[in-house]
Amino acid sequence: MSTIFSKIIAKEIPADIVYEDELCLAFKDINPTAPMHILLIPKKELLNLSDAEENDQALLGHMMIKTKEIAHSQGFEDYRVVTNNGAGAQQSVFHLHFHIIGGRSLNWPPG
């Protein structure tokens, strides 16, 4: 699988990286929908959340904990975490990613 996200992980294309560890990488969205719009991606290639398996539980938990740290590092206490699962849910890059969004009023329901 080769996506724009795998190229960012490999440092083949630039990104405004705000966090990185051995399991995941976070960078600012190039088309932000809010003052804070960061994408958090696993370094492991997963197409979407439905491709995650039981052995991905620790990775997904790690990423959820990191959303808080990333939002706080950007100065935000209130934020939303969103993932789209499949083309019908508007997933456009088929590498699992979480949108960390904050800094404006976020209406409910989304979409």
pLDDT at 2: 87
Q: Give yes or no for residue 4 having a pLDDT over 70.
A: yes
What span, in angstroms and rounded, lies between the C-alpha atoms of 56 and 9? 19
pLDDT band at 1 (very low <50, low <70, confident <90, very high): low
Starting at the edge strand that comes first in sequence, how are the strands of the sheet with 80-82 ordered?
17-20, 24-28, 36-42, 98-102, 80-82
pLDDT band at 40 (very low <50, low <70, confident <90, very high): very high
Q: Which residues are catalytic?
A: 97
- Specify the 3-state DSSP secondary structure of 28: strand
In the block, residue with structure tokens 């939002």:
71
Indicate the helix (H) or strand (E) that contains 102. Answer: strand 98-102
pLDDT at 24: 98
CB of 26 closer than 8 Å to CB of 19? yes
The superfamily (CATH) of domain 4-102 is HIT-like (3.30.428.10)
Rounded average pLDDT over 59-68: 98
Q: Give yes or no for residue 80 having a pLDDT over 90.
A: yes
